[in-house]
Structure 1
Amino acid sequence: MTLLGELQAGDSLDTVTLPAVTRLDLIKYAGASGDYNPIHTIDEEAKKAGLPGVIAHGMWTMGNLAKLFTPYYEEGFIQDYSIRFKGMVFVNDIISLHAVVDANREEEITFDVFAENQDGKSVIEGHVVFCKRLTEVATY
């Protein structure tokens, strides 16, 4: 695995592909987040709102983007995270997560991040600032 500090502008992190979105994923997320809007769990309610069926919580998709950085937790942490929702995520969608280095500075690395569905349609675009650990962390 490449260290983040070695990456240059234009380099990409390994793509993370999520398993197909399930209704159970959305029900669990509703419980964890407290967002019980029925457009995320009940088809009839989603259809009443003009949707073809239930849609994933936008924050569920945003939260999954952080999985791109999980392998690098020993090197630092996400300091800032901003996104724009670009499209809806539906049950059975397969979402791919991507991060491309924008700049690698002494104390931080900035990334352009995005998620797309199985058809290549963007569902989220954003920016992550990853703060590098500048000192060794003591291990006991």
Structure 2
Amino acid sequence: MTTVNLTVGSELAPLQVEPITRKTLALFAGASGDHQPSHIDIDAAKAKGRDDVIAHGMLTMAYMSRLLTDNLPQSAVRTFSARFLSFTPVHARPTFRAKVMALEGALATFELSATLDDGTVVAKGEAQVAIA
């Protein structure tokens, strides 16, 4: 965890993850218990009209939370939510960002996003974090 100085408009250093591989999806499925075929079975994905499998939405949220907890204490996270806007295909390399939208007393509100290399925003979120 690093220490950060927060002001409205400031951003945490972006988190760029390695490409999401089939191995990543298989390991996440095992760890999370989410073995939904669209995430691990190419035939099931093709039956739904997709070219290939897609990443779990909860994997995207896990990376968003990692961005926060790489910079702030996990115990300080008060709320965290996300909505999914698009699919994250296998082999994608999303970038995760967090921007301070508000500081109210001892609470910082962050706007979170997950964006693919082509500019597609696959998820947006919000987190409230207690600050000293």
Identity of aligned residues (%): 33
| Structure 2: runs of 5+ lacking an equivalent | none
Q: Which residue of 2 aligns with 1:138?
A: none
TM-score (norm 1): 0.86
**Residue 104 (structure 1) aligns with:** 103
Max radius of gyration: which structure?
1
Structure 1, gaps ≥5 residues long: 135-140
Change (3 A) 1:8 1:2: farther
Please state if 1:57 is matched with 2:75.
no
- Residue of structure 2 in register with 1:88 after alignment: 87
Deviation, structure 1 residue 91: 1.1
Q: Separation in 2 of the partners of 1:79 and 1:95?
A: 25
1:1-140 paired onto structure 2 within 5 Å: 3-4=3-4, 6-74=5-73, 77-132=76-131, 134=132
CA RMSD, 1 decimal = 1.8
Which whole-Å CA distance do the structure 1 matches of 2:10 and 2:98 have between them? 9
AA aligned to 1:16 is L
Match for 2:30: what amino acid?
Answer: G
Structure 1 pair 32–73 and aligned structure 2 pair: CA distance change class (3 A)? same
- In structure 1, C-alpha distance between the alignment counterparts of 2:101 and 2:86, rounded to whole Å: 23
Alpha-carbon shift at residue 3 of structure 1 (Å): 4.1
